[in-house]
Amino acid sequence: MLPPSRRDFVSLTVTESGSYTNGKQRRQSCWRKWKQLSRLQRSLILFLLVLLLIGGIATYPSLSGHWGALSDTAVGEKSGEGKQPFVIELKNQGRLLLPEPPSEKRIPHKRGPPVLRSRLQSKGNGSEPLVAGVKNVEEEDGNKPLVNSWRGAVIEAEQGTDLDAKRKDKATEPTDPSALVESRLEAVREAFRHAWKGYKDFAWGHDELKPVSKSYSEWFGLGLTLIDALDTMWILGLKNEFQEAREWVAKELSFNKNVDVNLFESTIRILGGLLSTYHLTGDALFLEKAKDIGSRLMPAFSTPSKIPYSDVNIGKGTAHPPRWTSDSTVAEVTSIQLEFRELSHLTGDPKYQAAVMEVMRQVHKLEGKRDGLVPMFINTNNGQFTHLGIYTLGARADSYYEYLLKQWIQGGKKETELLEDYLQAVEGIKKNLVRKSSPLNLSFVGELSHGLFSPKMDHLVCFLPGTLALGAHHGLDAEHMELAKQLMETCYQMYAQMETGLAPEIVHFNTQMGSAQDVDVKLADRHNLLRPETVESLFYLYRFTKDKKYQNWGWEILQSFNTYTRVETGGYTSINNVRDPKNPSPRDKMESFFLGETLKYFFLLFSDNPNLISLDKYVFNTEAHPLPIWPQAE
Ligand code: DMJ
């Protein structure tokens, strides 16, 4: 997990005709290189670029006049690419023509690098565009802001934000408790149907919906959203939608493709999604597909150290690290275990489990931890941690901690090394990373860099209250539950204190006495990607405490998603600015985890049925796909 993050992935872009082009592959290769640089490397490069830019401006005083002179016609399309030019408005300085953004504008994600965004922006109020390529335009005939998507489509800023729907929902909430539960469950089903309509109409069989431009993007070219959403449809009881999707899996899904995929992402979303759907439905189709993708991912483990490479070509059976490093991400190599262990369990072939447990065995005894906290990188040649000294519960490390606990639960609480590592890590978190904010005294989880504490907390860290609560439910120290409750409040405040009611990707907490507010959000960190972690934790906290406040907090968050991210023609979009309700600035992307995780956790949170995916029978993988806890006898 990278800082603002993040995916290490290989993305393929499909042309209008659906074929992959060499030119785009080359561009994306550069993009991928960028994304897999460390945060420090990227910062250095950006710093040098800024210096060069400043030097350039200093030696060319008439530059702004030159930009100003660029006419609309001078800002032509890039030859042969048929896309809109990429223009940034400079206040009183005309327009700056910039290189076109990557054709698949990858968002910062858990395990990719930060996109080049705010560096190109002028500083100012929160309504300025946060991502290069998306600009806000004040129209002359009124104050209503318009948004240009980077593809050039003009939409109303509040298009699809459905304020009326929000008001209606609030006004019509039933007072009878069981009717209230049913109406909230139905609201989640409705949200899912709306998201699915967009996917079906504009992105069917492709990886991700781009709801504003009514198109799609490819990452692996494997129908990622459809596979990620299968078990959600089953759990929500959306039988027709599920049947259509099943037909696609049966007839169209093939893993025999010359395509590079990221081992971690395809394991948690595709292998995990297929395995859980198999368990819920008993339909052998999903097990066959799971076996197919699982065996195609195995070449990743053929490394000198047996610590897997990040990328696998599932058609050729080859694997490789990123071109500029032989490191893998710690969270990635330690968060594929639940799925491969389950595959061995189902097939009777021990090779999958053996490969992932070898990784755990090595990480267990490695030097370089601090009170059980792990660094973010591990070398695939020598099996040692690299880039020592930085400890975070956010991007690149988060799910290491989650999977320590969950493997222990999956295996019937017998694997004591996993438990020891988890318990030690929780103590390490408390000692090194948990601090209190001012003025509200909220507990938060910061980061440690070479001994220096930073009050920075990724939204990704909000998985932690749920994991701590799950551990306490399974018999671990009751103090874990107390910390879980405190952190849950903090994660909720990360939503409640924002003008849109939606949390940003990253916050910084104030720790000085007398601060005016607890949370600061930097301009570059104001995006919301429809992430699940807070809703996930609310689900665990509600299941274990039955305190209705967690359901009510979740309901508020669902309303905010409906108000600011819902696109009228179908789908939900990530947004750039959670602090500007007038113009949240759509990013035109619905991540597969919105259907795979966020909506599923909303549904489970609002349900009062503890047997709906019982937490004594199932353990959720890090993409919200439930896998069975193995029977004690085994
Ligand atoms: C998902 O792919 C998984 O939850 C992963 O563990 C973290 N990142 C996204 C959601 O934010």
Q: What is the pLDDT of residues 188-238, one digit of tens each?
A: 999 999 999 999 999 999 999 999 999 999 999 999 999 999 999 999 999
* Contact of 507 with 494, CB cutoff 8 Å: yes
Alpha-carbon span 180 to 170, nearest angstrom: 11
Average confidence score pLDDT of the chain: 82
What separation in Å is there between the alpha carbon of 458 and the centre of ligand 1? Answer: 12
CA torsion sign for 353, 355, 361, 364 is: negative
Edge-to-edge strands, sheet with 456-458: 456-458, 506-509, 519-520
Residue 448: in which H helix or E strand, if any? strand 447-449
Instruction: Give, in degrees to the nearest 5, the angle at Cα 468 between 460 and 511.
Output: 60
What separation in Å is there between the alpha carbon of 7 and the centre of ligand 1? Answer: 10
Helix (H, G, I), strand (E, B) or coil at 218: coil
What separation in Å is there between the alpha carbon of 51 and the centre of ligand 1? Answer: 35
Helix (H, G, I), strand (E, B) or coil at 207: coil
Alpha carbon 390 to its chain's center: 21
Residue 312's alpha-carbon distances to 104, 285, 350, 432, 486, in angstroms, are: 20, 23, 21, 36, 40
Between 83 and 331, name the one with better pLDDT. 331
Alpha-carbon span 74 to 65, nearest angstrom: 15
Phi, psi of 63 (to 5 degrees): -60, -45
Whether the CB of 593 sits within 6 Å of ligand 1: yes
Q: Residue 495's closest CA among 420, 558, 546?
A: 558
The pLDDT of residue 536 is above 60: yes
CA torsion sign for 614, 616, 617, 621 is: positive
Best residue for ligand 1 mutational test, from 268, 536, 595 (most atoms within 8 Å of Cβ) = 268
Helix (H, G, I), strand (E, B) or coil at 216: strand
Place of tokens 């819920």: 280
CA torsion sign for 516, 521, 523, 526 is: negative
Whether the CB of 332 sits within 6 Å of ligand 1: no
Whether the CB of 399 sits within 6 Å of ligand 1: yes
N-to-C CA span, the chain: 34
What value does the mean pLDDT take over residues 168-176?
Answer: 73
What separation in Å is there between the alpha carbon of 622 and the centre of ligand 1? Answer: 6
pLDDT for res 29: 55
What value does the mean pLDDT take over residues 371-378?
Answer: 98
- Protein residue with its CA nearest to atom 1 in ligand 1: 623
pLDDT for res 121: 29
What separation in Å is there between the alpha carbon of 75 and the centre of ligand 1? Answer: 38
Whether the CB of 296 sits within 6 Å of ligand 1: no
Alpha carbon 455 to its chain's center: 21
Atom of ligand 1 nearest to the CA of 111: 8
Neighbouring residues of 530: CB distance < 8 A, sequence distance ≥ 6: 561, 565, 572, 573, 574, 590, 591, 593, 594, 598
Q: Give catalytic residues, as residue numbers.
A: 265, 398, 505, 533
The pLDDT of residue 82 is above 70: no
Percent of the chain exceeding pLDDT 70 equals 75
Alpha-carbon span 386 to 375, nearest angstrom: 7
- Protein residue with its CA nearest to atom 6 in ligand 1: 622
Classify burial at 233, counting beta carbons within 10 Å of its beta carbon; exposed 0-12, middle 13-18, buried 19 or more: buried
Whether the CB of 622 sits within 6 Å of ligand 1: yes
| Paired tokens of 549 | 């406040």
**Which one-letter amino acid corresponds to residue 192?**
F
| Paired tokens of 607 | 């349900």
Q: Which of 103-117, 397-411, 490-504 has the lowest mean pLDDT?
A: 103-117
What separation in Å is there between the alpha carbon of 79 and the centre of ligand 1? Answer: 37
pLDDT for res 34: 67
Nearest-10 Cα torsion for 498, 500, 503, 507: -40
**Which one-letter amino acid corresponds to residue 560?**
S
Between 560 and 79, name the one with better pLDDT. 560
pLDDT for res 56: 54
Alpha-carbon span 26 to 32, nearest angstrom: 10
Best residue for ligand 1 mutational test, from 529, 597, 599 (most atoms within 8 Å of Cβ) = 597
- Protein residue with its CA nearest to atom 3 in ligand 1: 623
pLDDT tens digits, one per residue of 441-458: 999 999 999 999 999 999
* Contact of 368 with 376, CB cutoff 8 Å: no
The pLDDT of residue 373 is above 50: yes
What value does the mean pLDDT take over residues 85-91?
Answer: 28
Classify burial at 199, counting beta carbons within 10 Å of its beta carbon; exposed 0-12, middle 13-18, buried 19 or more: buried
Alpha-carbon span 240 to 62, nearest angstrom: 63
Helix axes 163-171 and 548-564, enclosed angle (nearest 10): 150
Neighbouring residues of 614: CB distance < 8 A, sequence distance ≥ 6: none
- Protein residue with its CA nearest to atom 8 in ligand 1: 110
* Contact of 556 with 606, CB cutoff 8 Å: no
